[in-house]
Amino acid sequence: MLFLGTSLSAGYGVGAGAAYPALIQQRIDSAGLPYRVVNAGLSGETSAGGLERLEWSLQDSIAVLVLELGANDGLRGLPVDRMRANLDEILRRTRERYPDARLVIAGMEAPPNLGSEYTRAFRQVFPALARKYDAELIPFLLEGVAAEPTLNQEDGIHPNEQGHARIAERVWEVLLPVLDEGVRR
């Protein structure tokens, strides 16, 4: 199972062992499921950067891709159509290479200071791609975490350990049925 993402997946400020992908691995192990998490989170990563390193990330066979990219595109105000094209290409190439792999998309929100048109367009990318690729969708990865100071580091952007635990709960709710189905196949 590949987590392709940003500093949120990498565990910026808390370390990879406390990041939500590591917490997902703990849940997988506790449930006795036959999956191994590969954390390909990279601080500062944009959708373009994720696309550039996709081939390297897909070297090993994967059963599940959790795509967590787009947050840094939004923070930098990069064009939404470019982000969508990059994410689309990541999903297309993954599906082409591993047709049976399950896809999970972690949606993000753009900062409100970029204007309502930008934030609306940004928000629509993730569900549209989930429909196109029949992927599972986590509508907003940071739901219940982003606006809660006690769940974030001092920068107000990156989750602390408690924030990662909350994210892992939300991801697990979406991921567990996907993993169970994969075992039954």
| Main-chain dihedrals φ then ψ at residue 2, nearest 5 degrees | -105, 125
- Just list the catalytic residues: 7, 155, 158
The helix (H) or strand (E) run that includes residue 30 is helix 20-31
Distances 118 to 13, 46, 58, 89 between C-alpha atoms, Å:
29, 17, 31, 21
**107 three-class SS:** coil
Residue 178's CB is within 10 A of a number of other CB atoms, namely 18
CA dist 165 and 140 (Å) reads 15
CB 106 within 8 A of CB 66: yes
Q: Say yes or no to pLDDT of 181 above 90.
A: no
43: nearest Cα among 157, 175, 172: 157
CA dist 123 and 113 (Å) reads 14
The residue to which tokens 């900062």 are assigned: 111
**Residue 138 is part of a domain; what is its CATH number?**
3.40.50.1110
Read off the pLDDT of residues 4-35 as tens digits, 9 standing for 90 and up: 999 999 999 999 999 999 999 999 999 999 99
Q: What is the mean pLDDT of residues 83-108?
A: 98
Expressed as residue numbers, the domain containing 85 is 2-184
Residue 121's CB is within 10 A of a number of other CB atoms, namely 17
Read off the pLDDT of residues 106-134 as tens digits, 9 standing for 90 and up: 999 999 999 999 999 999 999 999 999 99
Cα dihedral 78→84→90→96 (10° resolution):
-160
pTM of the model: 0.96
9: nearest Cα among 90, 68, 70, 86: 68
Token representation of residue 157: 């952007």
157: confidence class by pLDDT, cuts 50, 70, 90: very high
How many domains does the structure of the chain reveal? 1
Read off the pLDDT of residues 46-71 as tens digits, 9 standing for 90 and up: 999 999 999 999 999 999 999 999 99
Q: In what order do the strands lie in the sheet with 102-106?
A: 38-41, 2-5, 64-68, 102-106, 136-138
